[in-house]
Amino acid sequence: MGDIIHAIILGIVEGLTEFLPVSSSGHMILTNKLLGIAADDQAIVTFEIVIQLGAILAMAIVYWDRILDLFGLSRKTKSLGTFSSGKHKGRKLNLIHVALGIVPAMLLAFLLKDIIKGEGFNQTPVLISLVVGGIYMIAAERLQKSRRIKVVSETMDDISYKQALGIGLLQCLSLWPGFSRSGSTIAGGMLTGTSYKAAADFSFLMAIPIMVAATGYEMLDNYKMIEGDNLMFFIVGFLVSFVVAWLVIVLFLRFIQKVRLTHFAIYRFVLAALFWLFVMS
């Protein structure tokens, strides 16, 4: 199963990569390989689900006021942090936007679940997706920078239903393990005419329901592994993933203007090289 040091390392990797456009699945496969952990061990599979839950909890806490606002339960009317100017031209993000953003990927994931679990996590598809996802992110950023795609939504509250659906459809790319959910949605937002900031904000908000559904579904088949000698391993991983993910989200939102998608794409290429060297050779 692994020791507490392994739990800490895997928790850090999950927290660092889950919400950044760098592919958490690619990182977890590489990390397991370097640590000598069998990635197909059922206890490790369950552990990865648990630490994902830690990351989700961190995201939910950061976005708590906005979540309440979606249900009309918050007195705050502005969007999160630096992302909201309050000038949303009469529109305001609501549950329909979120539904349009998450339903396409969730529906396709349900229909293709056997294929994704079977072939999707094989080494070659993950390696290719790391590279293809990086190219996709660079293309989205360059198209917007060249003004071939006009930015019509500066904040998350400016996003239209059409844009939300477009982002949702492009999020389906993330079903290819290694592609990155946040990478597909942030780049997808930019391709549909949102600013980098608005796309990231919407991507992070969508992550909560889609990840809760995915991890909850997986947990139904794996919860029995959380018991006995493994319990402390799971607790440590969960707590580490939660703390690291919270720090990553807060720092990313604060410094998003200084870290472009191209920077993450280059990192993905480096990761692909390491993946090929240590996992596939």
Question: What contacts 265, CB < 8 A, 6 or more positions away?
Answer: 133, 134, 135, 137, 138
Nearest one of 87, 85, 102 to 202, comparing CA atoms = 102
For the chain, the first-to-last Cα distance in angstroms comes to 24
- The letter for the amino acid at 130 is L
For 45-53, what is the mean pLDDT? 91
Residues 143-171: tens digit of each pLDDT: 999 989 999 999 999 999 999 999 999 99
CB count, 10 Å around CB of 129? 25
Confidence of residue 120 (pLDDT cuts 50, 70, 90): low
Nearest one of 14, 34, 32 to 24, comparing CA atoms = 14
Polymer length of the chain: 281
Residues 168-186: tens digit of each pLDDT: 999 999 999 899 999 999 9
185 is written with which tokens?
A: 């949605």
- The letter for the amino acid at 55 is A
* pLDDT greater than 50 at residue 93: yes
131/100 Cα distance (integer angstroms): 28
Task: Quote the Cα angle for 39-41-46, to 5°.
Answer: 90
Residues 127-139: tens digit of each pLDDT: 999 999 999 999 9
138/47 Cα distance (integer angstroms): 33
> Helices in the chain by DSSP H: which ranges?
4-17, 24-35, 42-62, 64-70, 95-111, 113-115, 123-145, 161-171, 181-191, 196-222, 231-255, 261-275
Contact 43, 209 (CB under 8 A): no
Nearest one of 172, 121, 124 to 272, comparing CA atoms = 124
pTM of the model: 0.89
**Secondary structure of residue 93 in the 3-state scheme:** coil
For 27-53, what is the mean pLDDT? 87
Task: Find the radius of gyration of the CA atoms of the chain.
Answer: 18
